[in-house]
Amino acid sequence: MPRGIKDRVAIVGMGCSKFGERWDDDAETLMVEAFDEAIADAGIDVSRIDAAWLGVGFEAQNVGPSGIPLATALRLPDIGVTKVENYCATGTDSFRGAVNAVAAGAADIALAMGVEKLKDTGYGGLPVRSRGLNSDMYGVTGSAPGNFAQIAAPYRAKHGVSREDLKRAMAHVSVKSHANGARNPKAHLRKAIDIETVLNAPIIAEPLGLYDCCGVSDGAACAIVTTPDIARALGKTHPVLVKSIQFCTSNGWELQHGGGWDGSYFHTTRKAAARAYAEAGITDPREQIDLLEVHDCFSITELVTMEDLFISGEGEGWKDILDGFYDADGHTPCQIDGGLKCFGHPIGASGLRMIYENYLQLQGRAGERQRLDNPRLALSHNLGGAPIQNVSAITIVGLAGA
Amino acid sequence: MHAANRWFAGGLKTLAHGTRSIANWDEDAVTMAVEAARACLDGMDRSIPRGVTLASVTHPFADRSNAGLIKEALTLPDDVVATDAGGSMRAATLALRDALEGSRTRLVIGSDLRKSRIGSEGEMLQGDGAAAILVGHGEPIARLIASHSLTIDFIDHFRRSGTAFDYQWESRWVREKGYMDLLAGAVATLLKEAGLTAGDIDHAVLPISDPAAFRAAARAIGLRPEAVIDTLGANVGDIGCGHPLLMLASALERAGPGERILVTGFGQGADTLLFETTEAVTRNSKRGVARALSAGKSDDNYMRFLFHRGLIDMDRGIRAELDQKQPGTTLYRKRSAVLGLVGSKCGETGVVQFPPSAIAVDPNGRFRDTQSPYPLADRIARIISYTADALGYSPDPPTYYGTLDFEGGGRIVTEFAEVGPEDVEVGRAMRMVFRIKADDEQRGFTKYFWKAVPAQRGEG
């Protein structure tokens, strides 16, 4: 294993637009909104940015190809901008580009931007699109809820969980995230709900009901990263440091190898998590990690991810959830900002939004929703694609010495 | 149907009984033909047919070999002769006669997706379906002993090329001049040439959908009442070109060795063929008419039928706007996987996969170009995961789909057809069927692929 990037890159500024149905904005103005916050937070002039990465998931309904939209929107000073697309891991991958550039010494200060403008499609949910010419011939053009719903039946079958128990645990995930989102002024959905509302909602894709699904939102989030030395020179006495970024991309084993993957878990998340913990020097994630921001595109995704991150034991995640382990006042809060479920899910921005929340929490700047037990290590996780073929991304950030 | 249309077409009351077969939204004359052919070739080496003919008046493509598409779905060898036959309701009996008189072992399929106006007699009398027969070399279940055909431009109904609906002439004239005179006359000539009488016929195929004309024709020919094969009008309906073959399949299922079967076809003349069964008739395919009838799923949603048949439009929403363009190049490269559901098996590890790839999927080693073709269409597969998706567009929501593992190896993610909530669970056995995947309305192209339906009893 490579020696990794632990503690070699610091985050000096972050910004996040309000997420939601931003009818009056386009991707360009959302990027400016997030950037204004980040550059003020960093306390630097734009001329100091050496390189930038732009993450956009659905470019066709959005800004279009290339890094040009970011360079133009922010009038960046004649630097290189790389456009990134990696399903729902897009935002984290743009962050990875910027962080690795700094870690490599190729840039002193780098910018990662993620943006998505999804409310220009004319309908709710993600845009329907081709997944490539070969897949168009023998793949299923399913919806995102349809794809992720498929993890439920094998999970039930493998762990002997009844439909009712699983549905109730899934509902708890959503009720918790709604309660958290209600305390977040930038969240898309800010209304607390009760469990009966979740259980009685119309079915979108069996067994996922309306409240088991996150909405899609417009929004942008960005990060400015640099070396710990430059961060300290900028006056950041306790900078938030990158402990690990790990990706795992399906190679077709889950999709094609009969009798292999059983459909009940995320193979890629387990691989990425193990590597991330090794890189960050974490040996007991359940006790060492203080905060979780995971890819709760659907309640069942969050439930299973608790196990794939090795926080809950296999087949035990649903019980931890019902016990309140992941509630805002629980042992390890998950989605304390409302998550994809309520903060919202502008695809390209989501990974950076998660890091943004962890960044605020580690600095004690999360306002009404601030966790008060001095969190020192926080994990964020993205999952792009479908359970059977996906990109999983894990970022761990923390304070010096954590 | 009649309950919905009685206010307008009260005269159809006498036909308003029984059921008719309807193709699902993702079926057409080609997909039904493939299914009939698979039943016919059940367990048989696919290199046996040296030709395939699709007889239909509803070919999905006017200029792209429909029979050639069937050849790909059946994974027949590339050097078979594939022929589209059409032109009249006699297309299948003419093709059958040509095949019997030819030198090749040939698969003859009759298949039609019937389309008739709302509130019409055709809507009540017709059904969708296909039937297939293999003729040529090998041990026969029946031999042709005589044949006779007539060609006369007698227009009981017609449909101009490129139009949707038949125009039908008065049924009394069709009965008297068409069936009682022309058809019965052709049978009389056939029997005279064979030195037989109507009483010598044990099973008679008269594909006549009008019940009164059917009875009148049988009487005019002089058939023994017990020799007349049921038209299946009360539970299938007239399936068009395939109907004489469907009734022949019925006759072969009930016939014992050494019995005579009369097959007729009618349309701008008549075909008459006389067969005699052999000892082998008792060993005919088990996937016959009764089994096909029991595999159906009942549906009394008339609005859904009309929508699927393109007779009414519904608001499909923006999601239905997804462009379904099919590049010719990619389909040509992947035709075996897409149309034939041919996967691959790694020669080093024995691991089966779909679709084939340059480097095998097996995680235990990197094997390049070690895979050989491995057909999956006739293998039972079990459900690993599934969902019922109400969000994505489907002509028949919700869309059921999921992951399946084939018995003997291989995995696929595909749509399910003809399932409800009670049909899907982890571990459930499914079988593969060739279906329409999507329609490119912009360019007029139909995309086909394989879907899963619940396996029948005894299949897994």
Q: Among A138, A147, A152, select the one facing B338 at the smallest CB separation.
A: A138
Mean pLDDT across A326-343:
97
* Confidence at residue A119, expressed as pLDDT on a 0 to 100 scale: 93
Q: Is A357 found in the same domain as A315? A: yes
Confidence class of residue A99 from pLDDT cuts 50, 70 and 90?
A: very high
- For the stretch A207-258, pLDDT in tens is 999 999 998 999 999 999 999 999 999 999 999 999 999 999 999 999 999 9
Q: Report pLDDT digits (tens) over A260-269.
A: 999 999 999 9
Residue A212 lies in a domain: no
Residue B77: its pLDDT value, please? 97
Angle in degrees, CA A222, A180, A145, rounded to 5: 75
- Using the 3D structure, point to which of A180, A205, A233 is the last residue of a domain: A233
Q: Is B409 on the interface with A (CB under 8 A)?
A: yes
Q: CB contact, 8 Å: A133 with chain B?
A: yes
Q: In angstroms, what separates the C-alpha of B190 from chain A's closest C-alpha?
A: 50
On whether the CB atoms of residues B256 and B106 are closer than 8 A, the answer is no
Q: How far is A358 from chain B, CA to nearest CA, in Å? A: 33
Measured between beta carbons, which residues in chain B are less than 8 angstroms from residue A252? 357, 361
Residues A103 and A169 in one domain: no
**Burial of B250 per CB tally in 10 Å (0-12, 13-18, 19+):** buried
Asked if B413 and A140 come within 8 Å (Cβ–Cβ), the reply is yes
**Window A:142-161, CB contacts with B under 8 Å:** 142-147, 149-154, 156-157
A75 and A155 both lie in a single domain? no
Q: Are residues A158 and A272 in the same domain?
A: yes
**Domain CATH code at residue A339:** 3.40.47.10
Scan residues 288-327 of B and list those with Cβ closer than 8 Å to A. 317-319, 321-324, 326-327
Are A41 and A152 members of one domain? no
Where does B58-103 have alpha helices with state H?
66-73, 91-101
pLDDT at B296 (0 to 100): 86
Chain A residues whose beta carbon lies within 8 Å of the beta carbon of residue B410 = 258
Size of interface A-B (CB pairs under 8 A): 138
- Please give the Cα distance from B243 to A308 (Å, whole number): 57
Domain assignment present for A375: yes
Q: Does residue A205 belong to any structural domain of this protein?
A: no
Q: How far is A14 from chain B (nearest CA, A)?
A: 35
Query: Are B389 and A253 inside 8 Å of each other by CB?
Result: no
| Number of domains, chain A | 2
- Cross-chain residue pair B413–A139, CB shorter than 8 Å: yes
Contact call for A139 and B386, based on CB within 8 A = no
Say whether both A114 and A252 belong to one domain: no
Which residue, A233, A267, A294, sits at the end of a domain?
A233
Q: Give the pLDDT score at B170.
A: 94
Chain A residues within an 8 Å CB radius of B355:
134, 138
* 3-class DSSP string for B374-438: EECCCCCEEEEEEEEECCCCCCCCCEEEEEEEECCCCEEEEEECCCCHHHCCCCCEEEEEEEEEE
Residue of B385, B393, B438 lying closest to A151 (CB–CB):
B385
Question: Does A373 share its domain with A254?
Answer: yes
Sketch out chain B's domains with CATH numbers: 2-303 (3.40.47.10), 326-454 (no CATH)
Cβ atoms < 10 Å from Cβ of B372? 9
Cα A138 vs. chain centroid, distance in angstroms?
Answer: 30
Q: Which of A188, A295, A345, A381 is catalytic?
A: A345
10-residue block means of pLDDT along chain B (460 residues)? Answer: 93 92 97 97 95 98 98 98 97 98 96 96 96 95 97 98 95 97 98 97 97 96 97 96 98 96 98 97 85 89 96 94 94 98 95 96 87 97 94 93 96 96 94 97 97 85
Q: Cβ of A153 and B405 within 8 Å? A: no
CA-to-CA separations, B38 to A249, B63, B71, B75, in angstroms, rounded: 39, 24, 11, 11
Residue A370 sits in the same domain as residue A386: yes
Whether residue A60 lies inside any domain: the answer is: yes
* Range list of H helices, A160-282: 163-181, 195-199, 228-233, 253-256, 267-280
Residues of B in contact with A258 (CB under 8 A): 352-353, 405-406, 409-411
Does A253 contact B at CB distance below 8 Å?
yes
Single out the residue in A233, A267, A286 at which a domain terminates. A233
As a whole number of angstroms, the distance between CA B375 and CA B372 comes to 10
Query: In this complex, do A133 and B411 lie within 8 Å of one another by their Cβ atoms?
Result: no
User: Is position A309 within any domain?
Assistant: yes
Structural domain including A113 reads: 10-120+219-233
Scanning B58-77 for CB atoms below 8 A from A yields none
**Judgement on whether residues A303 and A343 belong to the same structural domain of the protein:** yes
Closest B-chain CA to A259: B405
Is A338 contained in some domain?
Answer: yes
pLDDT at A304 over 70: yes
Element (H, E) at A80: strand A80-84
Q: Can A178 be counted among the known catalytic residues?
A: no
Q: What is the pLDDT of residue B460?
A: 59
* Residues of chain B neighbouring A139 (CB-CB closer than 8 A): 413
Q: How many Cβ atoms from other residues are within 10 Å of residue A184's Cβ?
A: 24
For B24, what's the count of Cα atoms within 13 Å in the CB-facing half-sphere? 23
- Chain A residues in contact with B401 by the CB 8 A cut-off are 140, 142, 146
- Tell me if residue A345 is catalytic: yes
Cα gap A219→A16, rounded to integer Å? 8
Neighboring chain A residues of B331 at a CB cutoff of 8 Å: 137
| Within-domain flag for A213 | no
Number of Cβ atoms within 10 Å of the Cβ of B212: 13
Out of B357, B385, B405, the one facing A258 most closely (by C-beta) is B405
Report cis status (omega within 30 of 0) of the bond before B398. yes
Residues of chain B with Cβ-Cβ distance to A154 below 8 Å are 384-385, 426
**Quick one: what percent of chain A has pLDDT higher than 70?**
100
Given CB atoms, is B335 within the 8 Å cutoff of chain A?
no
Same domain for A176 and A36, yes or no, is no
Three-class HEC string of A123-158: CCCCCCCCCCHHHHHHCCCCCHHHHHHCCHHHHHHH
A75 with A178, same domain: the answer is no
- Considering the domain architecture, whether residues A174 and A116 belong to the same structural domain is answered as no
Inter-chain touch A128–B392, beta carbons under 8 Å: yes
- How far, CA to CA in Å, does B16 sit from each of A147, A239, A332? 43, 81, 67
Candidates A88, A222, A248, A334; catalytic one: A88
Identify whether A276 is part of a domain: yes
Distance from the Cα of B421 to chain A's closest Cα (Å) equals 9
Beta bridge partners of B37: none
A273 touches chain B (CB under 8 A): no
Q: Is B448 helix (H, G, I), strand (E, B) or coil?
A: strand
